[in-house]
Structure 1
C-alpha cells in the first residue's frame, strides 16, 4: 500500500482503535490488512488468554462458546471470558480433553437448544472418544446427556479425532481417530477407531448406515480407514469434506462417502516418523484416494466452507487451518475437485486449531497455545 497522508492517518486510527478496544476488554485489530487474490481482509482479536482452545461455537445472540482441551468450557461476551459449570470429566493427557462443539441445527428453538460436544472419556481400560449434549442456562450446562462412546477404550493421549458436522437430513457426523497405538484398527469395521460415524440427534445409528445390521461392520460407521480427522464440514451441495492428519507429511483432504475405505495405514502418501520410509503404498484398488495432499507438514485442524456475502470471491471455497504449519489455506473447488489453492495466513496467529463461519457471515479462528485467542476475519475497507 502506498504511504500517503490519508493512509498514514487511517493506520494511526486503526491502531488507536485497537488500543482502546484492548483496554475495554473488547475487540482489538491485530492485522490491519492482509492481501489475498480475491479479498483483502483484517484480523480482529475478540478474546485472549484461552488455554489451548479446541473449538468455537458462535451463538445466535453474538456470544461464543469455546472449549479448552484441559476440560473447561468458556462463554465469551464482549471479550470477557466466563467458565461454565456442568462440563463432563475428561482425560486431558496428550491430545485428549474437551474437544469439538456443535449447536443443534435448530438451536434457538427452546426444544432444540442442545449443545453437542466431544471429549476423551476416562474409564477403567483407558479412554474413549465420547459424544454428549447439554443446554446452556446462565453460567452452567444443564440436562447433560452422554449419547455415545466408542466401543473400545485404549491407552490415553493420542488420536481422538474429533470433529462434528450436521448433514441436511438431520444426522450428525462424528470423527474418531485411530487412537495412535495400533493403526490397523482403522481397517477393522468392527472397531470405531479410525472412522467417520453417522448418528441421530440422540446418538443412535440410523438404519440406512452402510453397515447397519451387517456383521461385517459396526452400525455407526459411515467411512473407515481414516487416521485422525480434525477438520470436517458438510458443504452446501451435501458433499462431506474432511482434513486428515497423516504421519510424516501426506496430510489429506478427503471427500467422505458412505461405506468407503480411505486406506490408512495400508494406502497412504505418508512416511514413518522414525525411518522416513513410506508407510504402505500410495494407492490401491478399493481405496479412495485423497482429493488433495497438503504440502509439507501441514497438520490440519479446522475446516469451513465460505458462504458469506462479506467474501463473495471466496464463496464455495474451503478454508483449512494448520497447526504445525501455522497456515490458513483457501481451497477452490469445482465439481468435487480441488482446482486451486491460496495461502492466506502463515504464522500471523500461530497454530490454527479451528475455523468456522458464523451465522453473521464472518469467519472465526482459534489459535492453539497456552495463551490462545479467538479471532474474526473481516473485509479490509
Structure 2
C-alpha cells in the first residue's frame, strides 16, 4: 500500500513537472501576427545598421560597409566627411542617433569601428557631427574604445539618450570574454554614459575608482545591439546576444554587473558547458532571455495610436530567424511573443517614425513600413 502511494506521488509529480514544462514552452513560443501589410520605402540596402528620421521627414541611414546615406525624394545621397571606417567581420559603420534638441543644435551621433589608437586592428568609436548639405562638418570624436583588436566580433553598438540628456552607447566584449566584460579598468563589454559633448558625468559610478574607465555606466555585457529609452519610466532597456542560447533583455542600472560570462543561460557554440551558474550574488538577472537564441538586433517600443493592439509592446529584430518579434509586456514581464515580417529578411534595426508608423531595416531588402490592416 505504501509503495503504491509512493509510486502515485512520483507519477503525479512527474506529470506536474511535465505540465509546467509544457506551459513554459507555450509561453515561450512565438505566434504569427498577420493583421498588417508592408511597404518598402527605401529599397536596395545591404546591411542598414541604423537609421533615423530628420525633422523634415527624410532619413539618414548607416550602411555597415561605411556609407552614410541621406534618403530624400526617392534618392539615396552619399554623405561625405565620415572618419575612416575600419571594416572587419561584424564591424563597420554602426548606429546613428539625433540629439534630443537636434532642431536647436544640429548634432547627430554615430558609432563606427576605428583603427585609431593603440594596437593593430580596430575598436568601436563614438563621434558627433553636423550635417551641412551633403557633407558632415564639425566632426568630433567623443570616445574611442581600446585597445584595437583584429578580432571580427562583438563591436555592439547602439546609441540613445535618457530624459536628462545623458548619452548612452554600447560596445560588445570584442570576443574576449575572459578579459574585458568583468574588468572596469578595460573597455568593451560595457554600456557607457557621457554628457552630450563627450565629457564624463560627475555622478558616473566609477569616477572615483582608481584606473577605472570612468565612462562606464554598467558592465558584464556580451554584445548589446539593441538599446532604447522606455517611453514611460525613462529607464534604458537593452538586449544583448548570448552565446548558444541566453540572449537577454536587461534594464540598465548604474554601476551594476550583468554577469557575462560568469553567469549565463547559454552554452558554448560547441555545445559544451560555458558556466554552471545562471545566477550569483552581486550580478543582475535579465528581465527576459531567449533559448534558443534569436540573435537580436534593433529595439523599439510601440507608443503610437496607429497600432492600438500593439501599444506598449516591445519590438526586437531577429537576425537568426529573419523576423521582427513583438513582445507583449505586463509589469516588465514578457507574457506573449508574436512574429512580424516573417521570411522577409534579417531585421537589423527598427524604429517608430515621427508619423507614428513602425519602420524596420532588413538586410538585402531596405527599410519597410508596417501598415495595419483596416
TM over 0.5: yes
Rounded Cα–Cα distance in structure 1 between residues aligned with 2:352 and 2:250: 20
Rounded Cα–Cα distance in structure 2 between residues aligned with 1:92 and 1:147: 20
Rounded Cα–Cα distance in structure 1 between residues aligned with 2:148 and 2:85: 14
1:258 to 242, 254, 273: 254
Classify the secondary structure of the residue corresponding to 2:309.
helix
Spell out, residue by residue over 1:146-177, the C-alpha distance to the aligned partner (whole angstroms, 9 max, x if none). Answer: 11111422224211110001100000110010
Rounded Cα–Cα distance in structure 2 between residues aligned with 1:148 and 1:280: 36
Spell out, residue by residue over 1:187-208, the C-alpha distance to the aligned partner (whole angstroms, 9 max, x if none). Answer: 0011121010011101121011
Structure 1 segment 130-209 matched on structure 2, within 5 A = 130-209=125-204
Give 5+ residue unaligned stretches, structure 2: 1-30
Rounded Cα–Cα distance in structure 2 between residues aligned with 1:162 and 1:336: 24
Moved more, 69-78 or 170-179: 69-78
| TM-superposed deviation, 1:266 | 0.7
Q: TM-score, normalised by structure 2?
A: 0.87
Task: Determine which structure has more spread, i.e. the larger CA radius of gyration.
Answer: 2
Alignment pair present for 1:367 and 2:374 = no
Kindly report the root-mean-square deviation, in angstroms, between the aligned alpha carbons of the 2 structures: 1.7
Contact kept, 8 Å, 2:99 with 2:106, in 1: the verdict is: yes
2:305 to 305, 309, 326: 309
2:275 to 276, 279, 282: 279
Q: 1:31 — aligned with what?
A: none
Contact kept, 8 Å, 2:227 with 2:239, in 1: the verdict is: yes
Structure 1 segment 1-381 matched on structure 2, within 5 A = 36=33, 40-109=35-104, 112-123=105-116, 125=119, 126-215=121-210, 217-236=212-231, 237-347=233-343, 349-368=344-363, 371-381=364-374
Classify the secondary structure of the residue corresponding to 2:103.
coil
Give 5+ residue unaligned stretches, structure 1: 1-33
Contact kept, 8 Å, 2:264 with 2:278, in 1: the verdict is: yes
| TM-superposed deviation, 1:372 | 3.4
| TM-superposed deviation, 1:280 | 4.7
Q: How many residues are aligned here?
A: 341
Rounded Cα–Cα distance in structure 1 between residues aligned with 2:341 and 2:279: 31
Classify the secondary structure of the residue corresponding to 2:101.
coil
Q: TM-score, normalised by structure 1?
A: 0.86
